[in-house]
């Protein structure tokens, strides 16, 4: 007597909406015992394992009846067949952790989360600056330059405040002179960072030339280091030094760079406490800019600011410079968004003395 086909065979669920073949395969693999599934995983390559992780992480919930229907076509053993099978990236990590070595799982998921190796750079951005500075200084210069180039300008500048002066000078030149590494090299470096830095512990601007990128990084350094780096770049490689200097925007020179008509819109974008601290410190290091900003807004607003400034205690250097860098950061965002156009610096063929 012939055996009846199971009612819930795969043939009966081919039209099930929203479930791809890859997801069905992922459901099957996740439903096996760890011992059985491990034997399968040992025979597949990383690309196939990554495809499983991607498919499984995209699932939400698989109801028991659908789980039974998919599993009946292929296997006789289904884990938790009376319960729902949870999906998501955390569950994908848990399931993979039962099937493969931790190193392999981390490599696969580090490329999956956030797309490619991007998640590595996002997580590095969350580590304290001093720790990263110590890490990159121990790496070869090209590797260190690649790591820093994947971080935000502000983060890179903050890291360099903890780095040795010679290292900082050399790494900025390395970043300016070297062509971007291939995606394959970036992935390999990301994997090394995952293993050497991130694992033990558990946005660059697009466009423009390399010297301009370095200039933007320098812009977020304390004034003394900023000026020293600019001088070093000018002496070591004048072309890069000129590019860097043109991209630097200092609070002291805003009266030359910002159109008078743009001052009111600029001040509206700055957080009030930051604005007051930047201007208060500017009374000591950038009086022309203070006069320019307060002189190009309404008299009522200027008086209000002056009254508030008169009540402020003296702003210490670090607090003042931090506020002025935050001020410049907002200015840069406005220029990137097309809300403000800066006045170019005058050409300086003979260099810029007195900066």
Contacts of 248 (CB under 8 A, 6+ apart): 215, 216, 218, 219, 226, 230
Q: Evaluate whether 31 touches 67 at the Cβ level (below 8 Å).
A: yes
Decide if 121-223 and 251-334 have a common fold: yes
pLDDT of residue 305: 94
If you count them, how many residues does the chain have? 355
Instruction: Give the pLDDT confidence score for residue 15 in this predicted structure.
Output: 39
**Domain locations along the chain:** 10-102, 121-223, 251-334
Residue 206: the pLDDT is 45
Give the mean pLDDT of 303-316.
92
| CATH code of domain 251-334 | 1.10.220
- Residues 173-226 pLDDT 10s: 998 887 888 888 888 888 888 777 877 766 344 444 666 777 778 877 888 888
pLDDT digits (tens, 9 = 90+) for 266-305: 999 999 999 999 999 999 999 999 999 999 999 999 999 9
- Asked whether residue 63 carries a pLDDT value surpassing 80, the answer given is no
242 or 11, which is more confident? Answer: 242
pLDDT (0 to 100) of residue 270: 92
> Cα separation of 308 and 317, whole Å?
19
pLDDT at 294: 95
pLDDT score for 345: 73
Separation of alpha carbons 238 and 345, rounded Å: 17
Lowest-confidence region among 30-39, 235-244, 246-255:
30-39
Percent of the chain with pLDDT over 70: 72
Query: The domain at 121-223 falls in which architecture?
Result: Orthogonal Bundle (1.10)
Of residues 278, 269, 287, 279, the one with CA closest to residue 332: 269
**Closest residue by Cα to residue 125 from 50, 38, 204:** 204
- Coil, helix or strand for 21? helix
Domain 10-102 has CATH 1.10.220: yes
Give the number of other CB atoms < 10 A from CB of residue 328.
Answer: 19
Better pLDDT: 14 or 276: 276
């Amino acid at each position: 007597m012939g055996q009846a086909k199971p009612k819930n065979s795969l043939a009966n669920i081919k039209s099930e909406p929203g479930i791809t073949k890859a997801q069905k395969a992922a459901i099957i693999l996740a439903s096996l015992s760890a011992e059985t599934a491990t034997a399968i995983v040992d025979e597949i390559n990383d690309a196939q394992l990554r495809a499983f992780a991607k498919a499984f992480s995209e699932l939400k919930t698989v109801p028991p009846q659908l789980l039974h229907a998919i599993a009946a076509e292929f296997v006789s053993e289904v884990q938790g067949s009376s319960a729902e099978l949870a999906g998501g990236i955390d569950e994908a990590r848990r399931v993979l952790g039962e099937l493969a070595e931790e190193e392999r799982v981390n490599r696969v998921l580090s490329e999956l989360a956030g797309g490619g190796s991007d998640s590595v750079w996002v997580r590095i951005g969350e580590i304290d600056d001093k720790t990263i500075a110590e890490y990159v200084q121990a790496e070869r210069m090209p590797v260190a330059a690649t790591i820093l180039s994947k971080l935000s300008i502000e983060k890179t500048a903050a890291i360099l405040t903890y780095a040795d002066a010679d290292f900082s000078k050399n790494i900025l030149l390395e970043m300016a002179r070297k062509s971007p590494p291939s995606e394959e090299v970036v992935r390999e470096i990301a994997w090394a960072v995952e293993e050497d830095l991130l694992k033990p512990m558990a946005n660059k601007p697009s466009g423009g030339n390399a010297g301009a990128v370095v200039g933007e990084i320098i812009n977020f350094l304390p004034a003394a280091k900023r000026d020293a780096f600019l001088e070093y770049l000018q002496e070591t490689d004048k072309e890069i030094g000129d590019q860097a200097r043109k991209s630097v925007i200092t609070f002291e020179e805003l009266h030359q760079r910002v159109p008078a008509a743009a001052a009111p819109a600029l001040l509206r974008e700055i957080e009030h406490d930051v604005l007051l601290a930047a201007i208060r410190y500017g009374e000591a290091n950038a009086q022309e800019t203070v006069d320019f900003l307060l002189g190009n807004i309404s008299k009522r607003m200027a008086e209000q600011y002056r009254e508030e400034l008169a009540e402020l205690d003296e702003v210490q250097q670090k607090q003042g410079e931090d506020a002025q860098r935050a001020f410049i950061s907002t200015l840069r965002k406005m220029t990137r968004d097309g809300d403000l156009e800066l006045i170019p610096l005058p050409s300086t063929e003979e260099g810029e003395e007195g900066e």
